[in-house]
Each structure stands twice: as structure tokens, then as C-alpha cells.
């Protein structure tokens, strides 16, 4: 069973995130992610890339 608890990390290709979480292809991963989180993995990845990891 795919490990669907991990979210795609910013900076890695979505196809790699799909395979590393147990999906057979990126399209299946995209559909599952959008159904589960309400946004596409690409949108999530872009939002995560814009977030600062250091406290202000």
C-alpha cells in the first residue's frame, strides 16, 4: 500500500514524489492528492516554496 502520509517536499519533481510515496504514476498521485487535500500537488509545492522556514 502506498505511503500517503508524506506530502510532496518543495523542490523535488512531482513524478519523483509520486513514485517515492508508492503511486505507479504522477496522474494517479495528482488525483489522490487533490481529492484528499483540495488542491493540486503543484499548487501545494509552489505555496510551500514561498513559505519561510525561519521564525520572524
In this prediction the pTM is 0.67
The pLDDT score that the predictor gives to residue 23 is 94
19 burial type by CB count under 10 A (0-12 exposed, 13-18 middle, 19+ buried): middle
pLDDT above 70 (res 55): no
- The chain-wide mean pLDDT, for the chain, equals 79
8-12, 16-20, 40-44, 48-52: least confident range: 8-12
pLDDT above 80 (res 5): no
Q: Domain residue spans in the chain?
A: 14-49
Amino acid at each position: 500500500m502506498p505511503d500517503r502520509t508524506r506530502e510532496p517536499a518543495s523542490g523535488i519533481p512531482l513524478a519523483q514524489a509520486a513514485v517515492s510515496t508508492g503511486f505507479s504514476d504522477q496522474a494517479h498521485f495528482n488525483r489522490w492528492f487533490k481529492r484528499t487535500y483540495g488542491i493540486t500537488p503543484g499548487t501545494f509545492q509552489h505555496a510551500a516554496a514561498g513559505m519561510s522556514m525561519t521564525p520572524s
